[in-house]
Chain A
Amino acid sequence: MSAVTATSPVASGTAAGELKVSYKTPITLGIFALLGVILLVVFGRNGTSVFNFTASNAGAIQLPVVSMPGHLTGVVIAILGVLLALGSGLMARFQRRTPLWYITIFAVVLVTGFLVWASTGIPHELHVTGLLVGALGLSAPLIFGSLGGVLSERVGVTNIAIEGQLLAGAFVSAVTATITHSIIAGILAAAVAGVLVSFVLAVFAIKYVVNQVIIGVVLNTLVAGLTTFLYQQVLLNNIGALNNPPVLKQLPIPGLSVIPIIGPLLFDQNVIVYFMYVAVAGVTIGLFRTRWGLRLRAVGEHPQAADTVGINVGRTRFWNVALAGAIVGVGGSYFTLGNIGPFGANMTNGAGYIALAAVIFGGWHPIRATLASLLFGFATNLGSVLGSIQSPVPNDFLLMLPYVVTIFAVAGFVGRVRGPAAAGRPYIKS
């Protein structure tokens, strides 16, 4: 075994020699295009599909309602999909990699096809803007979660506890906002709750060098148990006094919020979502353009090298994990204050784990992790919207959708992404 650890233990290829750009992407696109053809052409549905682009809260501006003949549109889209897949194949043929924007276009085309198919011949219109707005809402906590995940992994601490931090944030924000009648206090308390969970993670991971995955899992279980216990024993008996928080109002941004589609989607949201934009931009710029980010990344990549230039590895890790906790905690308050109000047992429902997947799918990059979160949010909302307009797609399949999307996204399109080299590895000095 002397050398087996070095490279993949596959023996030298049989017909080695000629080298090629991998056909993985074109093949994946091809399979999807084929599925598109089967669905849209072979099982094409007759009737019309109606897309409504006007947002429910859009006031003055009314957008035209688009009616399409279901089968014909489906056929056109299927052909387009096949052509795009072939294009990708051609690129591979000429040793070119298929760019991300190309894959994005392909995905948008096929998703549109699916939407047309699913909304053909049913008595409802498909509210496109509503679909997107809902997707953003479902994505918001995921985005906060993945930002926190990116930060703590980048500084070298594996953070499985995102789920626990979200749940703690949700619980504490609801209770605090109810007691103080202040939403701002609720959001701040959520941040503090996230930080407290982080402190436990950081102390055990950094000071006592306990396995970080184990602490994370334990923390999630602990927070879930604790909040459920308190919810059932305390909150349920005093709903009015403890679990009846005010809900954030939409704050349309004058001017921007009237832009069709984009306006209601991005600029008619609540404070937490606006804070999210700031957080995404801040984390991105901070990570790559400031001293704080440079040191943070150095500690997560090569703690010993960071140490030799005088950076305190333990302290850097500790405070950045705490910061990550604060961000995730605020995300937790979106479940309550930003959405329905009162806390419900286990209301995060695994969002923290999806956020973790988004961190990895997003290649530990804040923007890409955000996009990945949006994708998951969209898939989830697509499921519920299609369910509600009585589309022919079985409900169970719709529930499965976000996870199917995850698996294909990760397997088909992500190359071997490389995380921070020292993530999860404690740094021990002599």
Chain B
Amino acid sequence: MKLELRGITKTFGALVANDHIDLTVQPGEIHCLLGENGAGKSTLMNILYGLYRADSGEILLDDVVQHFSGPGDAARAGIGMVHQHFMLIPVFTVAENVMLGHEESKFGFLDLPAARARVREISARFGFDVDPDALIEDLPVGVQQRVEIIKALSREAKVLVFDEPTAVLTPQETDELMGIMKQLKDAGAAIVFITHKLREVREVADKITVIRLGKVVGEAKPTATNAELASLMVGRSIDLTIAKSKVKAKEPALVVEGLTIHNAQGHVVVNNVSFQVRAGEILAVAGVQGNGQTELTEALLGLQDRVMGTIDLDGKSIRHLPIHKVLAEGVGFIPEDRQEDALIAEFSIAENLMLDRADGEPFVRHGALQLAYRTKFATDKVKEFDVRAQGIDEVVGSLSGGNQQKVVLARELSRTLRLFVAAQPTRGLDVGSIEFVHERIVATRDAGVPVIVVSTELDEVLALADRIAVMYEGRIVGIVSGDTPRDVLGLMMAGELPAGTKLAA
């Protein structure tokens, strides 16, 4: 089915999120949408799917103008969407999620066997391994995404939208998804693919459209270089490799010995892990998602119960401290899930910027908020970190992903730090924002702060790390130097330490 968008315009208050956007996607084509955070890509797709109503413009399928009054209409017309934030009901099974909205009944009762068969049939067609009776909340994100794909396919979608599907996937899962998308394309689907990762674009795209500030600013060929694409997106040239001075080796600042963590079910998720981070160096923790990295960073902050071992910062144990004391020790933290754990969506930018400073001067005096100081502080930080917003009183929830992350970064880096822990600091960010975040992390290191960066992206690990600790199934496979070749790291991420690898710890 051919999809055509004509002159789509959408405003949110004073903000023009989509400004007369035209886009045509042919059947059997993968069409990539590129653009900075907040460029308006998700907004456009939500209009296509009937979730938002456009102020003006038309949607055509096979040259017929469509009038969607809601997502149900869009789905019936053959549009399927894999959302940036999954639209799955956590307490339902896979089969229930897939059948929801177009359930088949037998004698008035849900025909679950038919739904299961449907899931199995589609899974078999694409080589998925999905149990129709598994609860969504028990499934890893990669599998949840497959459920979203199955959901779309079970309604015979001919136009498929993938909104940043790879942001939460491991490299292997990403490769598999690329394969699936090619399969779908060969089956004649028209595919819209939104991503910030230029390598993926190059791998699957047939056509590329770049959006900036709500407008289409150009098309590009998949053969375009990274630098060309990046500058088209951001409107300036981007330095994709960051300049980093040599590490000036200092004393170990953070010393972790024999750290073991159990999860709530009693399984060991971090197994006897020991490492040191020196002041002024970046230790990157690499590994496939779910190998204990999340728990490790949370334990450093005091967010995990059931922890054994020692965590010493500058010679003082911080393991038994409650979180507010850990923060007071000068630990800055960027959690993996910024929306859930780092920000209060309904609070303004200014309020979020002072969240962990509410217990004393200069933000609070005699129990009263110092609003003038807060305003000045927020204004400065918004400027310094280039947060794109309508003002410091805008609620954080309506910012685009990249700008939300900048708010977190601004808050955490505006204190005097003695340790900085960043988990997936650039997840979902555009190239311009990635460049910015990386520069700030390196600047923090250069100021003599020990830094831990957890990332599942090898590109990011290699760009930032002075040393790399690779985790697999809760253990550190080895700590190697920052210039270790990709293939060695790849093997280590699968739990193998190639013979002759030089360790750096």
Contact = CB atoms under 8 A, between A and B. Distances in A.
Interface in A1-46: 1-14, 16-17, 19
Interface of A: 1-14, 16-17, 19, 289-291, 294-295, 297-298, 301-302, 304-312, 421, 429-430
Nearest to A301: B89
Interface in B402-432: 408, 411-412
Nearest to B70: A310
Interface stretch (B167-175, B180-188, B296-304): B296-304
27 contacts: A1-B324, A2-B335, A2-B341, A2-B342, A3-B342, A6-B340, A6-B341, A9-B322, A12-B305, A12-B320, A13-B305, A16-B306, A17-B262, A17-B308, A290-B105, A294-B100, A298-B100, A302-B89, A305-B100, A307-B51, A307-B71, A308-B49, A308-B71, A309-B75, A310-B70, A310-B73, A312-B72
Contacts of B75: 308-310
Interface of B: 12, 49, 51-52, 70-73, 75-76, 81, 83, 87-92, 96, 99-103, 105, 108-110, 151, 260, 262, 266, 298-299, 301-308, 319-324, 327, 332-335, 340-342, 344, 355-356, 358, 408, 411-412
A310 B101 contact: yes
A19 B306 contact: yes
A196 B184 CA distance: 51
A6 B100 contact: no
A4 B358 CA distance: 13
B333 A307 contact: no
Nearest to A17: B308
Contact of B298 (A6, A311, A312): A6
Contact of A306 (B81, B100, B102, B319): B100
A3 B70 contact: no
B110 A11 contact: no
Given A6-B340, A11-B321, A17 B260 contact: yes
A305 B87 contact: yes
A2 B411 contact: yes
Contacts of B412: 2
A290 B321 contact: no
Nearest to B105: A291
Contacts of A5: 340-341, 344
Contacts of B327: 1-2
Given A298-B89, A307-B70, A3 B341 contact: yes
Given A1-B358, A295-B103, A297-B91, 9 more contacts: A1-B356, A5-B344, A6-B298, A11-B302, A14-B320, A19-B306, A301-B91, A302-B90, A306-B101
Contacts of B99: 294
B87 A302 contact: yes
A16 B262 contact: yes
A421 B101 CA distance: 19
Contacts of A10: 305, 322
A4 B307 contact: no
B304 A7 contact: yes
Given A17-B306, A294-B96, A305 B411 contact: no
Given A16-B305, A310-B101, A290 B72 contact: no
